[in-house]
């Protein structure tokens, strides 16, 4: 439906402007906030960047859960830094979205009342310390796989935000793998925890790339506009090809009995996640959907006095300036 709406909006726009816009995209130009752009391009970016920003913010919750219980001071400092980075990523992305004419408050309200999504992965619980390893290794690993190509996306502010985010995501992925290396080489109980974390996070990580290309609603138009640089299935395959040897190095087993390397193509054949579970999580029925949204709603309500205070201060400052002129 959304894709149809975008198409029908495009049909109402000036064909000459549309053609000139597409020519700029095809030539690899960056589109900047003040440039003319089709309404559908603007809306698609607000949706994607907004959802991405929300994912960074909600993504702090499963890891924040372990800050007080990190096993050493060093691990705690690393985890704290990572979780703070995620907040920063959210801020860069909200700023990029704001250049398209939507405010951060509007985006937040759309998240809180369920009109906007955030990544499905953050609706799964983090049950043990090994989950911090699996999240860093697999979840940030999947995020990087998706975000490195987005550094070349056509919208300037989004692509520039991605450059910085990707640098930080590499550190996140590395710290997760480091936890997995320690756990997998530890006591039998620690290795079991690492395997259990891999078992629980493998398929939800594959879901992060979105539904199969056949089911994807937006890919075709988003790729034509270079808002997306690859299809969901292309990136999922790349992720599997990169991650399976890393699991082997750890001495862990990927929970997929159909996993098989095709020597000729160099690609792994693998089992698809349970897509009915994915769509159910998107509808709000994942293990932690309610908890995550309740936490964000509480943070928003608790922070009201700060926002009100800052706005009152800004209003007073503006009034003083007017009076002085």
Report the interface residues with ligand BYC, using CB under 6 A. Answer: 2, 47-48, 51-52, 55-56, 59, 86, 117, 119-120, 139-140, 143, 146, 207-211, 216-219, 222, 228, 232, 282
The minimum distance between CB 191 and ligand BYC, in angstroms, equals 24
**CA atoms of 62 and 270, how far apart (whole Å):** 27
| Closer Cβ to ligand BYC, 99 or 190, answer by number | 99
Contact 122/293 with Cβ under 8 angstroms? Answer: no
Collapsing DSSP states into helix, strand and coil, what is residue 203? helix
**CA atoms of 234 and 238, how far apart (whole Å):** 6
| Closer Cβ to ligand BYC, 175 or 222, answer by number | 222
The minimum distance between CB 320 and ligand BYC, in angstroms, equals 40
The minimum distance between CB 167 and ligand BYC, in angstroms, equals 14
Residue with tokens 């975008």: 6
* Alpha helices (runs of H) in 214-274, residue ranges in sequence order: 219-224, 232-250
From residue 189, alpha-carbon distances to 185, 192, 193, 197 in Å are 10, 5, 6, 12
| Closer Cβ to ligand BYC, 274 or 315, answer by number | 274
| Closer Cβ to ligand BYC, 264 or 296, answer by number | 296
- Number of residues written out for the chain: 325
Q: Which residue is nearest to ligand BYC (CB)?
A: 59
Contact 107/90 with Cβ under 8 angstroms? Answer: no
| Closer Cβ to ligand BYC, 115 or 320, answer by number | 115
The minimum distance between CB 128 and ligand BYC, in angstroms, equals 18
| Closer Cβ to ligand BYC, 134 or 183, answer by number | 134
The minimum distance between CB 99 and ligand BYC, in angstroms, equals 17
Contact 214/233 with Cβ under 8 angstroms? Answer: no
The minimum distance between CB 36 and ligand BYC, in angstroms, equals 23
């Amino acid at each position: 439906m959304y894709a149809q709406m975008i198409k029908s909006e495009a049909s109402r726009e000036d064909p000459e402007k549309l053609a000139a816009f597409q020519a700029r995209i095809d030539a690899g130009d960056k589109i900047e906030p003040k440039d003319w752009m089709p309404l559908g391009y603007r809306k698609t970016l607000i949706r994607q960047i907004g959802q991405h920003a929300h994912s960074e913010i909600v993504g702090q919750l499963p890891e924040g859960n372990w800050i007080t219980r990190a096993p050493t001071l060093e691990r705690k400092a690393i985890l704290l830094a990572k979780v703070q980075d995620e907040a920063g990523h959210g801020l860069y992305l909200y700023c990029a979205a704001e250049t398209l004419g939507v405010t951060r408050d509007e985006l937040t309200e759309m998240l809180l009342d369920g009109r906007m999504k955030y990544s499905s992965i953050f609706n799964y619980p983090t049950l043990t310390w090994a989950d911090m390893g699996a999240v860093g290794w697999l979840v940030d690993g999947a995020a990087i796989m998706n975000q490195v190509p987005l550094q070349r996306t056509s919208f300037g502010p989004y692509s520039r935000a991605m450059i910085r985010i990707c640098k930080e995501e590499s550190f996140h992925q590395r710290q997760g793998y480091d936890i997995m290396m320690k756990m997998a080489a530890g006591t039998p109980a620690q290795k079991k925890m690492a395997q259990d974390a891999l078992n629980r996070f493998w398929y939800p990580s594959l879901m992060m790339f979105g539904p199969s290309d056949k089911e994807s609603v937006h890919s075709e138009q988003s790729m034509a506009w270079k808002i997306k640089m690859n299809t969901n299935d292309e990136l999922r395959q790349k992720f599997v090809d990169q991650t399976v040897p890393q699991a082997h190095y750890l001495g862990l087993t990927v929970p997929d009995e159909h996993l098989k390397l095709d020597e000729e193509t160099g690609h792994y054949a693998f089992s698809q996640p349970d897509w009915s579970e994915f769509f159910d999580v998107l509808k709000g029925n994942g293990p932690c959907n309610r908890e995550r949204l309740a936490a964000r709603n509480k943070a928003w309500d608790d922070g009201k006095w700060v926002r009100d205070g800052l706005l009152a201060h800004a209003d007073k400052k503006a009034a003083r300036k007017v009076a002085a002129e």
